[in-house]
Amino acid sequence: MTDATQPDWDPRAESVLQNQRQAYDKMRQSCPVARSSDGQWTLFRHADVMRVLEDHQSLSNQVSQHISVPNGMEPAKHSLYRALIEPDFSQARVDWFEPICRQFSV
């Protein structure tokens, strides 16, 4: 990051969309933790991504004050909600729902 008021990169820029691998490689070298033009943060190094994913004491994955189940929740709440909704995605439940879903999609 250089200037706190200017974004470090624009993930929707034509140059990025045309060659994402090259753009990501460049960011990994020049600015591995970058703020985008819409105010979002992007991590480009594997070790940084893993730290964010695994360090729940220092870093939060809560994305909003509004509950987003199960994404955007801390591990304890995530596990609770996941246990509640997981039965709806069992193979038996999906098999039951498939013909209904196909009926609406035709």
Residue extents of the structural domains in the chain: 1-59, 61-106
Question: By mean pLDDT, which of 16-30, 53-67, 78-92 is the weakest?
Answer: 53-67
At 49, is the secondary structure helix, strand, or coil?
helix
Answer with the residue of higher pLDDT: 30 or 67. Answer: 30
Query: What pLDDT, on a 0 to 100 scale, did the predictor assign at position 100?
Result: 94
Residues 36/29, Cβ–Cβ less than 8 Å: no
Written as one letter, the residue type at 55 is D
**Distances, alpha carbon 10 to alpha carbons 15, 25, 26, in Å:** 9, 14, 13
Rounded CA separation 34/87 (Å): 38
Answer with the residue of higher pLDDT: 35 or 56. Answer: 35
Rounded CA separation 105/92 (Å): 20
